[in-house]
Amino acid sequence: MSLPRVVIVILNWNGWKDTIECLESVFQIEYSNFKIVLVDNNSTDDSIKKINEYAEGKLKVESNFFEYSAGNKPLNYQIIKKSDNNCTVSDKQLTIIINDSNDGFAEGNNIGLRYALKHLDPKYLLLLNNDTVVDKFFLYPMIKEGETHEKIGLLGPKIYYYDDPEVIWCVGGKIDWKFARGLHVGNKELDHGQYQVKTHFDYISGAALLIKKELLENVGLLDKKYFLYFEEVDLELKAALKGYKNMYIPQSKIWHKVSRSGGGISKEVGLYYITRNRWIFMKKWAKAVDFLIFVMIQILMAIIIPIYLSIYYNNKKLFLTYYRGLRDGIF
C-alpha cells in the first residue's frame, strides 16, 4: 500500500515543554509521508522561542518514552503568522502558525486544518494534543484501516496515561445523554488485552483523531462556538449523519498527560466550558425525552455541584464559575 499524505495538526498554548516532547515523538515514527502544522494559540510564555530552539537542534528533549535524536535536526520548518493566508510553501516538515489571539481548542485546530487543506494536499488530517507522546508505529494501522474501508472517516488509537503507561485512559467514548457527558471506555483499567478488537464507538477522543479529508470537505470543521470541550463529539455526530463511521484501532498507541490546558472541572476555565457546553450540545443533539431528564438533573444538581467542587478543590472561584457557565449555556 502506498502511503497517503497525512498532516498532523498540533495546538500549543503556553505548553512548549509538552509540545516539543510530542513533536520529537512524532518525528521518530515509522511513517514517511507526513507533515506537521503547529498552531500557537497566542502563548504568553516563551513557546515560540523554545519550539524554534528545538527545531534548530539547540534544545534537547528528555523523555521516558524515547531517546532524543539529533540526527534529524535542524528540522526543515517555517514560522508564519495566521494572517499569511497566501503562503504556498509546502515542502516543509513543520509549519508553525502564530495566532494573534487564543481562539480555543476548536478554532485553534481549525486554523491548522484550513492551512493544511489549502496548501499541503493531505488525504488524512490528524488532530493530536500537544500533551501526548506517540508510539513509533501508531499511524500506519489507522491509515491501513481507513484505506480499507471507504465509509470509516474517523479513527483513533488506544490512549494510555502518560504517568501510568500501562493503564488505559480511553479507547473510545460513549455518550451519557442524561448527564450530557462522555464516558471513556477502558478508563483507569490496566491493559491486559481486553480491548484488542477494532470497535465502533459513539465518539473517538479528540486527543488523537485521524480524519479523512473528504469528511471535512463534506461535514465542515470543528464548531468554534464550543471553544473547549465537546467539539470533537459534535463533529463526529455530524459525520454520522452523512454516513461516516468511526473506528478504534487497538494496534495504534499513544500516551496522554490529560487536561494540561483546560484542567477539567478542577480549574475555572475547564469548569466554565464543560458546564456551558453541556447545554449547547444537548440543545443541539439530544432527543426530547433525554433533554427533559437532563434539565431535571441539572436543576437538582445546581446547588450541590458548585458547593461540592469549591470545597473539594479548595477553590472558591469555582462556585461562581459554575453559575456563569450555566447561565451562558442556557441563554
Q: Which of 12, 63, 16 is nearest to 38 (CA)?
A: 12
- The pTM (predicted TM-score) of the whole model is 0.95
Q: What is the pLDDT of residues 209-254, one digit of tens each?
A: 999 999 999 999 999 999 999 999 999 999 999 999 999 999 999 9
How big is the CA angle at 63 (ends 58 and 68), to the nearest 5 degrees? 45
Q: CATH 3.10.310.10: does it fit domain 6-256?
A: no
First and final C-alpha spacing in the chain: 51
Would you state the pLDDT for residue 291?
Answer: 97
Residues 6+ apart with CB under 8 A from 126: 6, 7, 8, 9, 139, 208, 209, 210, 211
**Residue 214: how many other CB atoms lie within 10 Å:** 14
Rounded distance between C-alpha atoms, residue 272 and residue 279, angstroms: 12
- Give the pLDDT score at 259: 64
Residue ranges for the chain with pLDDT beneath 70: 1, 85-89, 259-263
H or E element, residue 313:
none
> Is the distance from CB of 148 to CB of 140 less than 8 angstroms?
no
Q: Where are the domains of the chain?
A: 6-256, 264-330
Predicted confidence at residue 79, as pLDDT, reads 94
Strand partners, 273: none
Question: Closest by alpha carbon to 176, among 286, 264, 49, 256?
Answer: 286
* Grid cell listed for 321: 464559575
For position 264, what pLDDT does the model report? 80
pLDDT digits (tens, 9 = 90+) for 143-189: 999 999 999 999 999 999 999 999 999 999 999 999 999 999 999 99
CA 227 to chain centre: 12
- Within 13 Å of residue 241, how many CA atoms lie on the same side as its CB? 9
- Helix, strand, or coil here: 100? coil
Q: Cα separation of 242 and 215, whole Å? A: 9
DSSP 8-class letter at 212: E
pLDDT at 151 (0 to 100):
93
Q: How far apart are CA 46 and CA 37, in angstroms?
A: 19
Residue pair 252/135 in contact (Cβ under 8 Å)? The answer is: yes
